[in-house]
Chain A
Amino acid sequence: MWIIAARELRSLFLSPLAWSILGAVQVICGWFFALQVYLFVQPNVQADLAMNPDAPGLTAMVVAFLFDWIGIVLLLVLPLLTMRLISEERRNNTLPLLLSAPVSMTSIILGKFLGMMGFFLILLTMLMLMPLSLLFGGSLDFGQIASGLLGAILFLGALTALGLYISTLTAQPTVAAFSTFAAFLLLWMFDWAEGVGEQNSVLSYLAITKHYQPLVKGLFSTTDVIYYVLFIALFLILSIKRLDSDRLQ
């Protein structure tokens, strides 16, 4: 399992895609982070904050905003990374190597998943350096950051699991990328159903971004965590079943 994960991660960095994504995400998030910090230090904003007894602190205002952005940016980027997980193996006929080796289907899927998550951990570590730089000029609420980080990992895990599953369905990475993107968008849009009416509350409950927000705000609720864990487990199991059914056809 770890061998497959390690190879996956290494292969990612052998392609320019991983580097360009790391760079681009860093630049985009850095830009918003800088804007937010700039906004925060504006005299009139500071004055407003000083007047208001319930004013959001530095963490709530800057870091939480950053996490929101990380979520949205990665939601757009992630299909490009997950698309190749299985479908590229199919297309290059490398799948038989894994299937005929003494590893179980579960280890193949978990290996792929963990390899991808390894990449996101690297990405998140790099992004976390930005809020940590605020320590030079102020203090941070590390509880909220930790909660936001956990939220980001779970959120990305859920998206990766779904992307992995879609990738097992096809031999064409582009098809996988587009379907994954559509699925993400749909899951995100469920969130907007809330405004339409009361009866849509189930839909909006299923929205993948819905459970991210509280964690970013520092509200750690087991419901949200379990939602993501179940989501990840569901799609990993579906992927395993799907790969297994290849042998039966």
Chain B
Amino acid sequence: MDVLHNLAFGFEHALTWQNLMFCAIGCTVGTLVGLLPGLGPLATISLLLPLTYSIPTGGALIMLAGIYYGAQYGDSVSAITMKIPHASSIVACIDGYQMTLKGKTGLALFTAGVSSFIGGTVAILVLSFLAPSLGEVAFLFGPADYCALMLVGFVCVSFVTTGSLLNGLAMCLVGVLLGQIGTDVNSGMPRFTLDLPFLADGVGIVSIALGCFGIAEITKNLDNREERSPFNGKIHLIPTWAEFKRIIPSALRGSVIGSFLGILPGGGPVIAQFAAYAIDKKVSKYKHEIGSGAIEGVAGQAAADEAAARTSFIPLMSIGIPENAVMALMMAAFIIKGIQPGPNMISGHPDLFWGLVASMWVGNCFLIILNVPLVRYWLSVFKIPYNVLFPSILFFCCIGTYSVNNNLDDIFITAAFGLLGYIFMRLELDAAPLMLGFILGPMLEENFRRAMLLSRGSFMSFMSRPISGTLLSLIGVFVAWQVISFFLQARKAPAPHRLSPELAQPKLAEE
């Protein structure tokens, strides 16, 4: 009953007209961004972060969360109608686009909308029940356990987002190193600042996110010189009762899978979609149709996508450790607003926590009421030529970077990271693990130094504590499995023209 009481308290905050407005703005902007080429949720959240300075904390967080799940939905719309996923809706391309080819675009979009609503609702229930109890578990964590948990996050994110453990880990480490720029909190010594005063506070997260995601992505689109043809087909949204009945079981299955996978370190929408799709293919009543434009192929993955996007807030808000790059950026937003996510957040700021949870459901309603019927108007954003769009995105990058500190020097830093991000992109190194490494780097160092101080320099404390010992053993087993599978693969394939593991696996975009 406590949860119901808390949810009612949350709705009191979420249903004020200001917060409703911020939620609606977030969902709208998020959907637009999800549809547009060139900007993912990561870049948008960092672009709009400075604009939220003048907004009250609760409203700012509600808006940023709205952008995140709005972008997830917008992404699936472009995947279904034009087979162009920008961020995470890779699975929606399979059956969703097949349905479009069969002239069932409206049904596919309706299915995605309703399934996302179901997924979001289930996930919010999971979030309400689980986050407070997981927060209590966090009190058992010592510095060594936090270190181990962060390392698990690195390994999982590296593998899930890039498909190659080696490349992903390398990017995490680059992120950790970039996080070292600035003043050492223990000794007060400036590190890697090149004697430039504006680097004494470190590199801004907004500069890195906009450089690596915004500018690099714009340049990639310009290099490709893709001409996108807007969707001009007819959209008939309302399904028959028989079609509607097929959505529910698949969406519920997807919601449960998504809610569970969203909580795990490195988890998030991408892996949840694949898992839900695979399970639907095994157990669905219409499994023989999946792959050729079945409702189940869209419903399950859309529900899992939305559910995982919501439950990935749980580790951030209850333990204080973000589990993927988007959550790392959300954590930066919390900290900028003066709130430290962690076990004390729920008791210290119940209005923020429960208000955010309730607003997610309100956001769900906005998405289904505003976006599903208005989808044909949303698709008209594709008619904006890229030649007009990209100077505008650059403008937002400049204003976003400048407004953080009202400092023009930050734009040079963003330009430098734009170059770095472009190089990484050409080298097929995904920048999402870099973001996580950058946010967690200073925390990792602090906890590592604290753990070593407590154990008087002995590494055994990492193995002797049950939580960190278990987590590190898991990492060990996983790395050993990766090494063994590489050598086994190397033996099977004729040398020297083998396919590397990262090329053999489909590259997954960051969520």
Partners in one complex: no
B residues adjacent to A (C-beta < 8 A): none
A residues adjacent to B (C-beta < 8 A): none
